[in-house]
Structure 1
Amino acid sequence: MKKIYKYRIEVTDDQNIEMPVGAKILTVQTQNGVPCIWAMVDPNAEKERVHIRVHGTGHTIQDSDRLEYIGTFQMYGGSLVFHTFKVY
């Protein structure tokens, strides 16, 4: 049986988060000022490390062919905008 889980992420270029194998990432947004990814998961599945990358608007992206877009989130009333990707 699948469930939707929330995973907090950092505003940093590269990070890994533990998710169940086969997790389907649904969106990235902020909740109470904290960026989070929501994913539909099988909580009983084995865990794997998922490589996440966050880029600010205007930042250089070196290997865009390895990235799958997740979504965009804003912080500080929209003064900072970040774009989130899963790395393959």
Structure 2
Amino acid sequence: MKTIHKFLLPCDNLSTIKMPNGAEILCAKTQGGIDISLWAMVEANADFEIRRFCVVGTGNPVPSIDGATLKFIDTVIIFGGKLALHVFEVVAA
């Protein structure tokens, strides 16, 4: 059975999240205007895997990660519209 789960995403440049295998990222949004969360559709009984994510502020350089590409997920506006952060998943090339 599939369910939708929320995962807190640190605003660090690069971070990892333990998620069920095959989790389908639906969106990235903020709750409370500060923290970024990812919502994903997951299989309830799936094993877990580590997924990597990158958060880049508008005007900042987008990092180049050896052996990987960046898959855009969403743009999140935080701090009352003062900061736009762009969320990418780091995917093996």
Q: Give TM-score, length-normalised by structure 1.
A: 0.94
In 1, the alpha carbon distance for the partners of 2:11 and 2:62 equals 16
In 2, the alpha carbon distance for the partners of 1:27 and 1:55 equals 16
CA displacement at 1:73 relative to structure 2? 0.4
Structure with greater strand share of residues: 2
Aligned identity (percent) is 39
Unpaired stretches in structure 1, ≥5 consecutive residues: none
* Structure 1 segments of 4+ aligned residues over 2 angstroms from their partners: 62-65
Could you say what the CA RMSD is over the residues aligned between the two structures, in angstroms? 1.3
Mapped pair 1:76 → 2:79: yes
In 2, the alpha carbon distance for the partners of 1:3 and 1:75 equals 27
Matches within 5 A, 1:1-88: 1-33=1-33, 34-63=35-64, 66-88=69-91
**Count of matched residue pairs:** 88
CA displacement at 1:61 relative to structure 2? 1.3
CA displacement at 1:10 relative to structure 2? 1.1
Unpaired stretches in structure 2, ≥5 consecutive residues: none
